[in-house]
Structure 1
């Protein structure tokens, strides 16, 4: 580069035109090279600022689609379809309550013990009558709205019809039971109470350790879409379970 600048500062004089043309050609090539280097040079306000490579432009947003990329299956369009598409959820319970998909914890050890205590009492009675007892993990389809519930305890006929592969039809059940936990107070006391009556489940047993005084309540005799007979006792007092069960249940097992 220095030689080129010197050549430009001091005009090269030669008597040979061919040689002069050759020198001018070399100077032209070197001048073009300098201009190219200068055009590629990056200038910084801060000489210590690191070099940042230019980033490619962001890709355009994907168009709205109802299909999973790379798959020809349609995305779930309703809570019921989404529930059916969910993988197994260990220690969680997925239900559709009032048209909404609700995922809640499965319950504490104490919660599980109360369910187990009820199962130990009711399973022999159910077997004698040709029924089955399920301590949880049994889906129930509420006829009408088709909400999907998973009660803590279910008694059903052995030949109870099913909705799909995993849900018993509500109107065929004998009894359902729920153990109230802090996270399920409204669902168990209000929402499921209405749904079980709407689905014509004859008996709903509510075991409520979260009550001001821990209690057990049995709801029965459905009229106009609601339970018309309600019997409630504190823990430790026996409670009568109406027909078709027809026994006295000792509630001290839930303490």
Structure 2
């Protein structure tokens, strides 16, 4: 489901996002072109991957960082608000803002998206660019629907709106998520 919000400035888009009456379990994002998109709750495969991923990341990061699954992050320069499937941010950043405010994306240490069929382009293209523009050091894309088969890609070293380094493994392999996270992620349980 989507509703157009095209032609509005950042303040109006942010106000629209704050005031949305989003059904429980759904998420609302402002994507390319200022469109408000509401996404239904993810399916079982998505949730099983999140169930494996969340505790692994939580164990790896310092206690002063939060590992969250429903946090809005904003990229004002692109007029975007996303809710990554998992995001790592300093706790102080989360606690400093109002409940209805998204966290500035540049505060994130890691953003993770688990691709669903209906949002594949957004995760693979739009969020990839937006997270690089925001300077999020690490973007982990878990793509069950990749053309080459289920695949995990880590994008790192953002420069001028693009990630300069990419590592990838098929499901079942291990991928290293470098500092500031510092985790060797075994993806064998993603199948």
Which interval holds the TM-score relative to the shorter structure?
A: 0.7 to 0.9
Q: How many residues align?
A: 177
Q: For the residues of structure 2 that align with 1:163 and 1:190, how far apart are their CA atoms?
A: 29
Other-structure match for 1:31: none
Other-structure match for 1:155: 88
What stretches of structure 2 of length at least 5 have no aligned partner?
Answer: 1-10
Q: For the residues of structure 2 that align with 1:79 and 1:167, how far apart are their CA atoms?
A: 12
Give the 3-state SS of the residue equivalent to 1:189 in structure 2: helix
1:106 to partner: Cα distance: 2.1
Other-structure match for 2:5: none
Checking the alignment, whether the CA contact within 8 Å between 2:60 and 2:183 is kept in structure 1 is no
* Deviation readout 1:133-181 (Å, 9 max, x if unpaired): 11x2111111423411001001111112666534111111110100000
1:217 and 2:153 equivalent? yes
Q: For the residues of structure 2 that align with 1:173 and 1:141, how far apart are their CA atoms?
A: 10
Other-structure match for 2:4: none
* TM-score with structure 1 setting the length: 0.65
1:129 to partner: Cα distance: 4.8
Give the 3-state SS of the residue equivalent to 1:160 in structure 2: helix
Other-structure match for 2:21: 87
Q: For the residues of structure 2 that align with 1:138 and 1:207, how far apart are their CA atoms?
A: 18
Other-structure match for 1:140: 73
Q: For the residues of structure 1 that align with 2:47 and 2:125, how far apart are their CA atoms?
A: 22
> Relative contact order (C-alpha < 8 Å, sep 6+): which is higher?
2
Checking the alignment, whether the CA contact within 8 Å between 2:172 and 2:186 is kept in structure 1 is yes
* Cα gap change, 1:181 to 1:200, in 2 (>3 Å): same
Other-structure match for 1:53: none
Give the 3-state SS of the residue equivalent to 1:137 in structure 2: coil
Checking the alignment, whether the CA contact within 8 Å between 1:219 and 1:227 is kept in structure 2 is yes
Checking the alignment, whether the CA contact within 8 Å between 1:141 and 1:163 is kept in structure 2 is no
Q: For the residues of structure 2 that align with 1:86 and 1:246, how far apart are their CA atoms?
A: 37
Structure in which a larger fraction of residues adopt strand: 2
Give the 3-state SS of the residue equivalent to 1:159 in structure 2: helix
Q: For the residues of structure 2 that align with 1:226 and 1:160, how far apart are their CA atoms?
A: 25
